[in-house]
Amino acid sequence: MSLESLKVDLSDQTAIVTGASQGLGRAMAIALASAGARVACVARNEEKLKATVAAIEEAGGQGEAMAADVSVTENVEKIVNTVADEWGRFDIMVNNAGITRDTLLPVMSDEQWDDVISTNLRGSFLFCRAASQRMMRSRYGRIINIASVSGLIGNPGQTNYSASKAGLIGLTRSLSKEIAKRKVTVNAVAPGFIESEMTAILGEAILKEVKKRIPANRLGTPDDVSACVLFLASPAASYITGQVLTVDGGMIA
């Protein structure tokens, strides 16, 4: 789909997008900036972040690279405070940073489990905590957590990843109930198979079989996910909170 057909005005708003150096995170950061938001792009790889910011600026938007490990409390608090204090406001938080360390659970190491939970779930917890404090104070905010269909149905070889995404869905639903009265919404987006470097590695034969499981008969695109994020980030979504929006072409319907 084309994002040009979705009219969302985020002028003068500010956003943080984690995992913005590539893939979905990069696409979502560019989409938010195209809608008028000033976007803090967060990830570990500074060079890739600079490329994301360059793409934002080339399209006429505003972005800033903030390289950091999202699992470290001090890093998260510094980024949120910088955006809120130096930029004058903080409106949108997109928790997208995530990694995989795939293997079957009987042979999964402590490190493979801890690395995934630390980045995918702890990192989102830290940003949700810091963001909610600021947003409750200003009585406005949009927190959007990028989960996965793996967190809804599980996936063999990805027990750690599926657990982290299921935990993120639980975090989303619980936090939404805690802060709804302060006009802060908390929702999750759960993508299915999306066109990316990771899915391309699977090869044409496997992707052909994957498409057979998807009623839409195609993989999703980064724009399909970005459109959902744009809507949930907008003022129009003020009465939507605690929800999990599945973007999978009907695969798990």
Digit-by-digit pLDDT tens for the chain (253 residues) are 567 668 899 999 999 999 999 999 999 999 999 999 999 999 999 999 999 999 999 999 999 999 999 999 999 999 999 999 999 999 999 999 999 999 999 999 999 999 999 999 999 999 999 999 999 999 999 999 999 999 999 999 999 999 999 999 999 999 999 999 999 999 999 999 999 877 887 788 888 898 999 999 999 999 999 999 999 999 999 999 999 999 999 999 8
What pLDDT score was predicted for residue 202? 77
φ and ψ at residue 145, rounded to 5 degrees: -105, 130
Q: Are strands 38-43 and 14-18 parallel, antiparallel or unpaired?
A: parallel
In a domain, 216, yes or no: no
Q: Do 97 and 120 meet the contact criterion of CB atoms below 8 Å apart?
A: yes
Is 149 inside any structural domain? yes
Q: Which of 13, 161, 219, 229 is catalytic?
A: 161
3 belongs to a structural domain = no
Q: Does residue 205 fall inside a structural domain? A: no
Say whether 140 is catalytic: no
Pairing relation of β-strands 38-43 and 62-67? parallel
Report yes or no on 97 lying in a domain.
Answer: yes
Contacts 24+ apart (CB under 8 A), 238-243: 238/183, 238/185, 240/185, 240/187, 241/176, 241/180, 241/185, 241/186, 241/187, 242/172, 242/173, 242/176, 242/177, 242/180, 242/186, 242/187, 243/187, 243/188
What pLDDT score was predicted for residue 1? 53
Tell whether 137 is covered by a domain.
Answer: yes
pTM: 0.96
Full domain range(s) for residue 21: 11-194+221-247
- Is residue 238 situated within a structural domain? yes
CA 152-153-157 angle, 5° bins:
115
Cα–Cα distance measured from residue 228 to residue 232, given in angstroms and rounded to the nearest whole number = 6
What CATH number is associated with residue 181? 3.40.50.720
Query: Does residue 153 lie in a domain region?
Result: yes
Sheet strand arrangement including 62-67: 62-67, 38-43, 14-18, 92-95, 141-146, 184-191, 244-247
Q: Give pLDDT, residue 4.
A: 66
pLDDT for the residue numbered 2: 60
Domains identified in the chain, total number: 1
Distance, in Å, from the CA atom of 120 to the CA atom of 161, rounded to the nearest integer, reads 8
Distances (CA, A) of 69 to 159, 166, 251: 23, 22, 33
